[in-house]
Structure formats: structure tokens, C-alpha cells
Structure 1
């Protein structure tokens, strides 16, 4: 299982996702362009020393990323989906894709995905923070595939 971030814009969110990946043994793919300089100190501040314990792969474009994913299913998390994350059956080799904080992913990227899921939240609010969404989705996917560390 892997996490993929499409053109992330906020260094602190990426740092938090890198720390999440380190803690759960899940690699993180970053699809460029990034909305910040890679050496932004906010990435390392959020990731702390965990950044040295996660496999990070940077991709120049979505097409380059997609080509590297092989046969793995690409599972997009979006507020525009109808299917709940809790009504989906994950596989151990799924790639969990999250869009940029301000705009998600373009239609062409969404269309290239094998599934589109949403995390159910109250209708009065728009969305969760990227790092929180990633943690909830990864936790459910790993729970279903029984791949939680120490479990």
C-alpha cells in the first residue's frame, strides 16, 4: 500500500503525511509540481526525524506517477465521491491518492482512478485537513487488509 499526494500545496501537511508513512511503513509518492520548495523547513519540522524512515518518491507529473503504479489500483479520496471509504474493500497493493488542498484533482486525473471514495463528514462543513484525511483513509485500508504494524 502507498499514499500519493497530487500537487500538494502546504509543506506542513506533506511533513505530517511523511511522518504517517514512516509510522505505518507506507511509502509516499509526491506528484509535482509542489506548492512549496522541497527543502522548506516546514516539511522537516512536521515530519521531524521520521522523514528518514519513509520511502519518498517524487514524480514530475501525474502521467509519470501513473506509469510507475503498475497494476495497483488507484483509489482517489475526494469530497465529490458518492461511495464511503467504509463501504469499500481495499487491497494490500492499493495506492491511496489525495488531491491538492485547494482544488483536489482535475477531471482527467479523477477519470484515471479505479475508485473514488469520500470520508463521511457533517454536511455543514466542507472537508477535513489533508493529513487527517490521509490518516483516516490509511487506517481503514490497513485495518481491512490486516496490515497494521504490530497487529
Structure 2
């Protein structure tokens, strides 16, 4: 099973889309507080449609709590436009955690720096845009991990 981690997500639509992606791929969705919305929010449920109740969801008070619970066997990959390595150059394994930051700020730069080779970016044309929509970035990375691990 792959794991999707959203740290401090702000937009319910993106969390709902991530939940739908998690369900479609047999992955677990981890939401790390603070959340910019209520999980009862109609927008989260609407984006997840009637599937939201079936999403394998865990909510954490902070990232260190999640990391400690997954330690030592789990590998974490940190997605950021500030990372140097392309997501398709990673060698994903079943059980990996794909970590994404909030929509307005992304992951803290220190976290990406500390990740080293586990910091990943989705390549984009230089002058095109500063970032992709969070749910789009999740889909791109998750399906590359699914392709490599054969988890479907």
C-alpha cells in the first residue's frame, strides 16, 4: 500500500480529490493538522462523491506524530518545486509515503533540504508556471509510484 500525506491542506476540494485518488489506487490518505476545512465540509464530501466514507483516512495532529508511527520501516518522499530530483528518477516501493505541502506555501524549505535524495519535483517548462495544482501533483506522483510498484 502506498501512502499519501497532505500537510496542512487548505482547500477541501484538493483533499477530496486526494481521497478519491487514494481509494482508486488502494492507498491510504493521511491528513496532517491544521486543516483549512472541516472533514464534514460538504466540499470534501462532494469532491469525494459518495466514496468519501470508504477512503482509508488517518488524521494526525502533526507530522512528527505520523513519522514516529511509521518509523523505522517507512520511506518518505517529499514533493516540492524546490527539490532537485525528478519524481520519475525515484525508485518507489510498496509502503512508501508521498508527502505534499499546503497549497499556498508547499513544504517548508528546511524539510525539502533535509530530505536530500528523497526530495522530488515534477519537471515543468522553466517559464511556464510556478507550480501545479496540488491534486494534479498528487495524481502524477502517485500513478508513477503505482506504475513502478505494480500495486494495482
Confirm or deny a common fold (TM above 0.5).
yes
Q: Quote the Cα distance in structure 2 between the aligned partners of 1:30 and 1:113.
A: 20
* 1:55-134 alignment, distance < 5 Å: 55-70=56-71, 71-111=73-113, 113=115, 115-124=118-127, 125-134=129-138
- How many residues get paired? 148
Gaps of 5+ in 1: none
Q: Quote the Cα distance in structure 2 between the aligned partners of 1:14 and 1:142.
A: 19
Q: Quote the Cα distance in structure 2 between the aligned partners of 1:85 and 1:8.
A: 21
Paired residues of 1:73 and 1:113 also in contact (CA < 8 A): no
Give the TM-score taking structure 2 as reference length: 0.92
Task: Work out which of the residue numbers 135, 139, 143 in structure 1 matches 2:139.
Answer: 135
Supply the RMSD in Å over aligned alpha carbons.
1.3
Deviation at 1:139? 0.4
1:114-148 CA distance string (max 9 Å, x none): 61000111112111110010000000011011112
